[in-house]
Amino acid sequence: MLEMDWQALYAAKAVLLEGMGITLQITAVAIACGLALGTVLAVLSLSPNRLLKAGSHAYVALLRSIPLVMLLLWFFLIVPQCLKTLFDLPPTVDVRLISAMVAYALLEAAFFCEIIRAGIASLPRGQIHAAQALGMTPAQSMRYVILPQAFRAMVPVALTQCIVIFQDTSLVYVIALGDFFRRMTAIGERDGTLIPMLLLAGSTYWVISTALIAMTRALRTRLAR
């Protein structure tokens, strides 16, 4: 770390902040879209319709069995071509960020599906019977009674998954997307201080993840009370 050129690092702060912005964008989209799609998949997995139920289980099993790096590479090769074909985009348009967001959102939907399904399964069956006794339809009981309680029960686990998503965003390095980790390593390679820059990047991820873990523990304690 003593070999670090701190002045050069400070001069590149705008580039690093832009990279962190890309990291946070991917994280936010993966959480929002993954949670929305995961909720739909969780509801479908509990559907009495066998086709919908089987489709949900097949999606989760498929996405969870594919390594994230491979998924990123697939979407890096497929999504840009599809977008450029559908919207007639010029070859100069860089859609790597969109392809990464799509890959993370689809993958995290599978994980959030299992988390939400476990939250629903943890509720006593009496909740469903009580909603039916009030004259609610299955859709109404799921929306107004089951899902709100399931979300409350799964909050700590979901937040832990969000931390994992933030850490996994560094894997966009394989598609040459200029996130925080990619730009830190680029500066290290340029200045001949790759190892110190890797240590500094790891320390940054550690500080942010530790703060998020502390928030998750505090929230878990509050919900337990």
Average pLDDT, the chain: 83
Is the pLDDT score of 214 beyond 80? yes
Angle, in degrees to the nearest 10, between helices 180-191 and 194-224: 160
Reply yes or no on whether the pLDDT at 217 is more than 80: yes
- What are the C-alpha distances in Å from 93 to residues 111, 180, 190? 31, 21, 26
Work out the burial of residue 118: count CB atoms within 10 Å of its CB; fewer than 13 is exposed, 13-18 middle, 19 or more buried. Answer: middle
> Considering only 32-41, 92-101, 183-192, which range has the smallest mean pLDDT?
92-101
Q: How far apart are CA 62 and CA 107, in angstroms?
A: 9
Look at residue 3 and tell me whether its pLDDT is greater than 60: no
Q: What is the pLDDT of residues 57-80, one digit of tens each?
A: 999 999 989 888 888 888 888 777
Under DSSP, the state recorded for 123 is S
Question: Is pLDDT at 6 greater than 70 in this prediction?
Answer: no
State how far the Cα of 23 lies from the Cα of 178, in Å rounded to an integer: 9
Lowest mean pLDDT among 7-21, 22-36, 93-107, 196-210: 7-21
What is the pLDDT, as a whole number, of residue 206? 93
> Does the pLDDT value for residue 31 go beyond 90?
yes
For the segment 147-165, what is each residue's pLDDT rounded down to a tens digit?
888 888 788 888 889 999 9
pLDDT for residue 110 is more than 80: yes
Cα–Cα dist 179/20, whole Å: 6
Confidence tier at 23 by pLDDT (50, 70, 90): very high
Alpha helix stretches (DSSP H) within 66-193: 68-87, 96-121, 126-133, 138-141, 147-168, 180-191
CATH fold, domain 6-224, is MetI-like fold (1.10.3720)
| Residue of 90 and 207 predicted with greater confidence | 207
pTM: 0.84
